[in-house]
Chain A
């Protein structure tokens, strides 16, 4: 059964190499989890950015080189000299009584940087630590592994700390500032969701060694620049909710087969890339293929999904209320499109039983608006 699903997913992706999930794309699962189109694209390992661009809707999702450089510089600073700065922050800012600290660099193992090798080294060290056989405290870039929809995903947290209350804590080093004890809520949320993927992966790894989930805290440690300086500060962030949400999303991916089985047999998002790297698939055909899969566009897709411009154009084309955002959507519960809402408001459409009340409200609102605009025009106001 599973194999059949994989085959279907491979078919959907076509000839392109499979893209694996990353902590980032896993974190994106939290947004708009009910969208089938994204679920299918992600599960099949398709390149959403390339597909969107080829369908005529490239979505800019770049990161500025300044932001990348700043992130690297800050992480290096925090980790310099066996994490000296980090340890200072843990002791001074968070008032943790850390015994002496043993620092382990897991960026490569004896010069071998392959994820498998690093992962087995990580597992060996962390399991031993959890069992009290090894004294480690800070693990720099451990390599974790998570099974997502039957595929192995390697995840690499910035740092995992042990011995904070004798549990493992995921440490996220971010370069957005904590100004006067406050940081940008959206950025903290993104960091927390990313950390929750690590928490889940860590727990899975320890579970294989018979160690219970309590060994990994679901509070993460956010390390970020203090105010406008380069010196780090830290805060505990409760990731419980996001760990639970992400766990749920991962289970959904396990059931991706249910979604895939509803799609036409021969559906594919293959771009038919030839040897010179050109995509030969006609754009309209690709768009048609995408249209076969239900999407659930919302304005905040624009900030997290590469397909957003494509999906928005679809939502606009059918005058879906989704383009206006959830507030309007909720206000007009039960009505899907602007065309229908306006049709009901003008009495051109007959409401069904469920819509009767809303239709009356819409008609009333439309009448008031016309009344006012009529008067205002008469009074010469610019309206």
Chain B
């Protein structure tokens, strides 16, 4: 619906009332650029925690291994300084799973322009995490560290609702609907054109400009082929020539030219990134974001402790079990995040209601004193209510429900759903959140005439049980399950020639 309105009005409209992602007070913005055609070869990056103090890192010859790792070391220092600045304070917490423990009080947040930016960091992480500070191809110690942290952050980014590594286009698209496709929304200049076109431009002009690399350089990670051809390739060639001649002054000049050239390409994106951050900051944060952030803090602390204990780099692949476990975790996170959003956000809830995945209505019947005897011979309150809704409900009896209209612990169960003309009568049994006694606590049972919102409880599914690695049938194990460090051949294989 929102997308239709955006199309009609030619401007972005809100899709949600709230911003559902935490926005750090001090995010680290990174705009990575890579070289076309080369496997994950970084070309440049602009990084920093303040709009006015960007740091530009440039690899003058991306095919040169030493220069790549000098770049990785520079970026590594920026990222590690940033991460370390979140590892100063801990706080005691009581965790349900681990018992009393302590957590850092803040977590990092790295923002990149688009999903491609995340991919570039994944590649960089993969390239760096098995490197060693000693041995035949030594790198700065910060390089493998950067590799492991980027890999960790990228893994968290796969999980819905996390906030430690995010594409800004994704954050914008979660809150604003545009009149274009998801793919086009991944163009930062374009989605920003819909939301907040540059002074004096209409949305139509802004989005046309966004696709013209001569006006809006792409937000990366790839640079525009036209730019590569006309400017970048000659500039790199000049650098190579002067370098080959051993002319130090000319090399420095050629490098400075390259920096300037790339700086001009990257700066518009840098400014847009911060403009996007201010727009997002102006949107109120959803209440449940805080609880999700607690989980980020827990996983950040856990990984940080693992690293402090001399943690090994992540393996190349999950094994079969690991992959299944991961998939199940991601699905669950997705369902939880969607439920959180609907719980917090009336617009998100309205969407779910329109699709029949949630409902709202007035309590038109109530049996507040209903008590049943359980199999264990305990008498428990099981009040029933009837909600009359005009929503196109598609939830079947047996579905457990949660409700933003009641205290958080409220749980209920659909007993029956009977269509009645334009409306539907839904018989709901309250099953939780009423205290321990036979008489429900005050305010824990909906009353006649009360307006109720209900949506399915994403937590009803049991956690799947996976076999432990050693009990795994042999058909599902593969050599890829080997720890990378026991596989030294791969490390040696990754030598880049400087001569290509």
Contacts and interface: CB of A to CB of B under 8 A. Distances in A.
Nearest to A364: B354
Contacts of A225: 39
A225 B41 CA distance: 13
B464 to A, nearest CB: 25
B428 interface: no
B417 interface: no
B240 interface: no
Contact of B8 (A70, A228, A338, A365): A338
A159 B36 CA distance: 24
Given A176-B39, A228-B40, A324 B123 contact: no
Contacts of A100: none
B196 to A, nearest CB: 13
A366 B13 CA distance: 14
B484 to A, nearest CB: 9
A244 to B, nearest CB: 27
Given A73-B500, A226-B493, A62 B354 contact: no
Interface in B88-146: 123, 126-127
Contacts, number: 155
A229 B496 contact: yes
Contacts of B433: none
B244 interface: no
A177 interface: yes
Contacts of A65: 225, 228-229, 233
Interface in A327-367: 327-328, 338-339, 341-342, 345, 360-362, 364-366
Contacts of B282: 382
B17 A228 contact: no
A299 B233 contact: no
A180 B225 contact: no
Nearest to A375: B346
Interface residues of B, number: 59
A371 B361 CA distance: 13
A60 B495 contact: no
For the residues of A in contact with B, the DSSP-based class is: helix
Interface stretch (B45-53, B180-188, B366-374, B395-403): B180-188
A64 interface: yes
Contacts of A98: none
A131 interface: no
A369 B347 contact: yes
B226 A62 contact: yes
A60 B222 CA distance: 14
Given A227-B493, A369-B350, A179 B123 contact: yes
A381 B390 contact: no
A381 B284 CA distance: 8
B350 A324 contact: no
Nearest to A184: B119
A181 interface: yes
Contacts of B225: 60, 62-65, 67
A324 B226 CA distance: 28
B213 A60 contact: yes
A230 interface: yes
B480 interface: yes
A383 B36 contact: no
Interface string B293-328: 000000000000000000000001100000000000
A324 B181 contact: yes
Contacts of A339: 8
B465 interface: no
Contact of B17 (A64, A319, A383): A383
Contacts of A338: 4, 7-8, 179
Interface string B206-248: 0000010100000000111110110011000000000000000
A300 interface: yes
Interface centre among B39, B182, B233, B284 (most CB of A within 10 A): B39
Contacts of B213: 60
Contacts of B181: 299, 323-325
Contacts of B283: 382
A70 B38 contact: yes
Contact of B37 (A69, A229, A342): A69
Contacts of B223: 64
Contact of B7 (A71, A302, A324, A361): A324
Interface string B459-500: 000000000000000000000100000000010011111001
Interface of B: 1-5, 7-8, 14, 17-18, 35-41, 123, 126-127, 179-184, 211, 213, 222-226, 228-229, 232-233, 282-284, 316-317, 346-347, 350-351, 353-354, 390-392, 480, 490, 493-497, 500
Interface of A: 60, 62-71, 73, 175-177, 179-181, 225-231, 299-300, 302-303, 309, 319, 323-325, 327-328, 338-339, 341-342, 345, 360-362, 364-366, 368-369, 371-373, 375-376, 381-383
10 contacts: A65-B229, A69-B37, A227-B490, A228-B126, A338-B4, A338-B7, A338-B8, A342-B4, A360-B392, A365-B350
